[in-house]
Amino acid sequence: MSKKKFFFAVKYYSFYRICLGMIFIAVLFIIFASCDDLENIYVPPLQPLPENAAIFLSIDGTKGGLRIYNANSFQLMDSLITTPAAPWNVEFSPENDRLYSIWHGSPSYIHDLYEIGLKPLRINRYIRLFPGYYALTMNSNNNLLIAFGSKGIQVYDRTSMSFLIQDTISIGETNTGIAAANIYNIVYYPMYDINNNLIGFGIFDLDLFKTVDSIVVFKNLSYSGLANSDILISKDDKYLFCTAWNWRGLGGYGSFFVIDLLKKTIIKEFEVGAFSKLTMSPDGNSIYISDPGGYLYGFASTGKVWKYDVKMNSNSVLINELYYSDKIAVAKDNRTLFITPVVSFQMKDGNKAWVVKVDALNGKIVDYLTVTYDSANYFSNLPRNIKVGEY
């Protein structure tokens, strides 16, 4: 055999083996992908969280307030009654020795900002907010408390709880959200036009105490009537994530938007629930999207909880048939989820649950917190918000 024929034969043989290998891999992939039962795929067991890990559950109702449960056992560790109001927001101090919350006083349209000490769980002090401010966030430096609502933004010094500035920017009357950047000392708030249509987001500088820029991305006619539901900022401050809804289609239409903050453009839109809420994992790699349904509008919940992969810019269904999911909290392991309902979850064993614990690797419910019934076997309390902390 000549050298030329020999080398040709070797090359052909190598190419033939590579082709056979690729075909074999493809066949295995097709067989694997066609399996009806993917539940047999091995997933490492969900490990217990640190013993001091706790869930802080805001409860509204006849005995509303703040309840603290052990995150592993759901054992009640402490509680604070705030009836007739409920602490809808919880922000932890950097030292984890206190938390901050807002709930309404009397009259009910006026809210108060509270500082709550831990161990013992008690109200340290509170201040009266101006009318129209009812929700709370904290800046990236953890030195400011930002109250917001239908009348704009109020800023308070966290340590002294002294009032610093009020900005009566018009941010709309419907489903208003606000989010603090993770690196820069700014917050993003929804911007509406004179017809109360969401058109984008304003950037409020917490050093200059004024709006310094805007991101207008919803002026297209297809977004007419859009209203904001929730908003988050990526860990690197490069992207804004938001949910919004309008009347497109029958029964309302909800979208999850990914917005490039540098280019000021929408880079992706995914269909979700009409009033979907957002939560980001501590590592910033995943965003979880609930579907509470349409509240007073009567939109049905799809029963889905979605998981958005930040690096891959892809969205997938994590859970099916968990109807009217609302707030989601993610533990420091970036895997354990705690999800609350708008009403109560109907479990397959017939029980009702206020919180379900979910493994984010496979979407399986691993445990749940049952509702508390009164002496007449009735419950009137409902969860409003949930946070994972330490206690």
Query: Is the pLDDT confidence value at 233 over 90?
Result: yes
% of the chain residues with pLDDT over 90? 64
- How far is C-alpha 116 from the geometric centre of its chain's CA atoms? 23
Asked whether residue 332 is assigned to any structural domain, the reply reads: no
pLDDT for residue 28: 41
Asked whether residue 198 is assigned to any structural domain, the reply reads: yes
pLDDT for residue 251: 56
Asked whether residue 187 is assigned to any structural domain, the reply reads: yes
Asked whether residue 179 is assigned to any structural domain, the reply reads: yes
pLDDT for residue 18: 44
Asked whether residue 5 is assigned to any structural domain, the reply reads: yes
The per-residue DSSP string of 132-192 comes to T--EEEE-TTS-EEEEEETTEEEEEETTT--EEEEE-----SSS---EE-SSSSEEEEEEE
pLDDT digits (tens, 9 = 90+) for 334-343: 999 999 999 9
pLDDT for residue 15: 43
Separation CA 83–CA 380 (nearest Å): 12
Which residues, in sequence order, are CB contacts of 102 under 8 Å at separation 6+? Answer: 87, 88, 89, 111, 112, 113, 114, 129, 133, 134, 135, 136, 147
Separation CA 345–CA 361 (nearest Å): 21
pLDDT, mean of residues 281-292: 97
pLDDT for residue 171: 62
Quote the longest CA-to-CA distance of the chain.
100
Asked whether residue 164 is assigned to any structural domain, the reply reads: no
pLDDT for residue 38: 41
Q: Count the helix, strand and coil residues of the chain and give each as a percent rounded to the nearest 5.
A: 10, 45, 45
Last residue of a domain, one of 247, 274, 296: 247
Q: In angstroms, what is the C-alpha Rg of the chain?
A: 24
> Out of 76-80, 152-156, 168-172, 382-386, which region has the weakest mean confidence (pLDDT)?
168-172
C-alpha pair distances (Å), 215 with each of 206, 228, 250? 17, 14, 29
What confidence category does residue 37 fall into, taking pLDDT thresholds of 50, 70 and 90?
very low
pLDDT, mean of residues 71-94: 93
Coil, strand or helix at 305: strand
pLDDT digits (tens, 9 = 90+) for 90-100: 999 999 999 99
Last residue of a domain, one of 214, 247, 280: 247
What confidence category does residue 174 fall into, taking pLDDT thresholds of 50, 70 and 90?
low
Asked whether residue 384 is assigned to any structural domain, the reply reads: no
pLDDT digits (tens, 9 = 90+) for 115-171: 999 989 999 999 999 888 888 999 999 999 999 988 889 999 999 999 999 888 766
Separation CA 212–CA 290 (nearest Å): 32
pLDDT digits (tens, 9 = 90+) for 259-277: 999 999 999 999 999 899 9
Report the mean per-residue pLDDT for the chain: 86
pLDDT, mean of residues 179-191: 95
pLDDT for residue 35: 41
% of the chain residues with pLDDT over 70? 86
> Out of 39-53, 70-84, 85-99, 147-161, which region has the weakest mean confidence (pLDDT)?
39-53
**Most confidently modeled of 68-77, 189-198, 380-389?**
68-77
Q: Which domain holds residue 5?
A: 1-34
> Facing residues of 218 across strands?
none
The whole model's pTM is what?
Answer: 0.87
How many domains would you assign to the chain?
Answer: 2
Separation CA 307–CA 1 (nearest Å): 61
Last residue of a domain, one of 213, 247, 281: 247
pLDDT for residue 270: 96
Q: Sign of torsion, CA 391 232 290 382?
A: positive
Separation CA 171–CA 178 (nearest Å): 10
Query: Is the pLDDT confidence value at 218 over 70?
Result: yes
Separation CA 156–CA 286 (nearest Å): 31
Asked whether residue 19 is assigned to any structural domain, the reply reads: yes
